[in-house]
Every structure is written in C-alpha cells, then in structure tokens.
Amino acid sequence: MGHHWNHSDGYPIEHNRWIVKRGLEETILVLIAGVSGCIVLSGYFFDIRLLNSVRLTLLNYAAILVGVVMIIGGVNIIRVHRNKILAGSPSSAHSLVLLTSFFATIAIVAFFGITSNYSAWIYENVLIPVERSLLALLAVVLLTLGVHIRHNNLNLFRMVFILTVILSLLSATEIPGIEKLRLDQVYQWLAGVLSIGGARGIILGVALGTLAAGLRLLMGIDRPYSD
C-alpha cells in the first residue's frame, strides 16, 4: 500500500500511513458499537437462546463498566479541584472544602460500611437537607417566573399555558369555598383528557427521536465516542 504513494505528491509515506491508520481505527470503533448494539437490539425482537446468552453477557459487561465510569467521574472531580487549589485560583478555598468533605465521607463509609449508622447519618444530615432546600428554592423561582410572565409577546400558546398553570394550582387546593368554582371538573378535563393527548404526542415524538438517534449511532453515522 505504501509504495503507491510516493514523494511526488509531496507527503512522506508515514504521513499517508497515518491516514490509513485513522481510517481503520474509525472503522473498528464503528464496528464495535454497531455489532454490540445489534446483538443487544436483536434480543428485543428475536428469541434465540444463543443470541440471548451473548446479549445477557454483553449487558452484564456494560453494567460493570458503568461502575468504572462512576469511578472515573469521581476521580475527575478530585483532579479538577486539586488543580484549582494548586493553581491558587479564587475558588480554591471552596475546592478545598469539597475535597475535605469528599475524603472525610470516603473515610467514614470505608471504615464503617455503607449500611452503617454513620453513612446513614451523612445521607440524612448532608444530602437530604441540601437537596430538599435546593428544590424548595425552585418553588420560589417558579412562583416568580409565573407571576412575571411577559405579556409583550403574548400569543395563544402562552395564554393557554398560564391559564392551565393557574387552573391546575387552584383546583389542587381544598380550601373551603374554592370547590364552589368547580375547578376540579375543569382540571379533570385538562389533566385527564387534553394533557394525555399532548403527552402522548410528546412521548411518541421522543420515542421517534430516540429511534433515529440510536439507529444513527448503531450505523456509524454519528460517532460521539470518536476523538
């Protein structure tokens, strides 16, 4: 193959070999993704015992490798924040706090076990308060956004949207007097009939999009794994 490309085109043989090598690498990657994907996909439509056992093995490998990915993610976080501290960036103090909490948690969980009272204590007294508080902030943000919805560009869809939100909120309340407005019956039509139609259209659209994106990946048209 190398002899066909001589120096008359101005490029050394090694350079052309690099092109071939890149092409081969890409082909192998496409084949790996495509073949493994097709074996797994076949299990959804065919019930062949040998294929099924290969499929289950591949799924098992994938499940284990996701665990490795989780480790990689964790190590990457440590590395990023370590670099911030070493570089003396303005947020290095926060990075130090992050690394301290990380290693303290790892030490406690490793020493006492993940089912110990101490691990449960960390979950209940660090994760739960922070996550619930962050979600609580969202209530304020949504309320603010809903009140300030701009009407310079009012169109039919925005009106329908905000009316639906208001009706849904009011009909969910059991405060005496509100039920006289019969909003719950309106809400039953909104949420129980009309929104099912819209939601079904959305989930069908999402499924079709997933199908297209997945097939593009399996056929090698999209290669997100490629460098």
Kindly give, in sequence order, each residue whose CB lies less than 8 Å from that of residue 196, ignoring residues fewer than 6 positions away.
none
Tokens of 182: 């019969």
Q: Is 152 in the site for other proteins (CB under 8 A)?
A: yes
Q: CA Rg, the chain, in Å?
A: 28
How far apart CA 58 and CA 149 sit, in angstroms, is 49
The only residue of 7, 50, 88, 117 in contact with other proteins, by rule CB under 8 A: 117
Q: Is 132 in the site for other proteins (CB under 8 A)?
A: yes
Q: Is 88 in the site for other proteins (CB under 8 A)?
A: no
- Min dist CB 13 to other proteins, Å, is 10
The only residue of 46, 137, 182, 185 in contact with other proteins, by rule CB under 8 A: 137
Element (H, E) at 40: helix 13-42
Please give the residues from 51 up to 80 whose contact with other proteins meets the rule CB under 8 A. Answer: 56, 58-79
- Min dist CB 194 to other proteins, Å, is 5
The only residue of 48, 89, 130, 182 in contact with other proteins, by rule CB under 8 A: 130
Element (H, E) at 221: none
CB closer to other proteins, 87 vs 144: 144
The only residue of 15, 46, 182, 185 in contact with other proteins, by rule CB under 8 A: 15
Element (H, E) at 2: none
- Residue (of 173, 212, 175, 171) closest to 189 by Cα position: 171
Please give the residues from 189 up to 208 whose contact with other proteins meets the rule CB under 8 A. Answer: 190-208
CB closer to other proteins, 19 vs 48: 19
- Min dist CB 86 to other proteins, Å, is 17
Q: Is 48 in the site for other proteins (CB under 8 A)?
A: no
Helix (H, G, I), strand (E, B) or coil at 148: coil
Taking CA 189 as the corner, what is the angle to CA 175 and CA 135, rounded to the nearest 5 degrees? 55
Q: Is 50 in the site for other proteins (CB under 8 A)?
A: no
- Min dist CB 44 to other proteins, Å, is 3
The only residue of 46, 83, 123, 182 in contact with other proteins, by rule CB under 8 A: 123
Residue 43 φ then ψ, to 5°: -65, -20
Most distant pair of Cα atoms in the chain: their distance: 91
- Min dist CB 192 to other proteins, Å, is 8
- Residue (of 28, 18, 29) closest to 1 by Cα position: 18
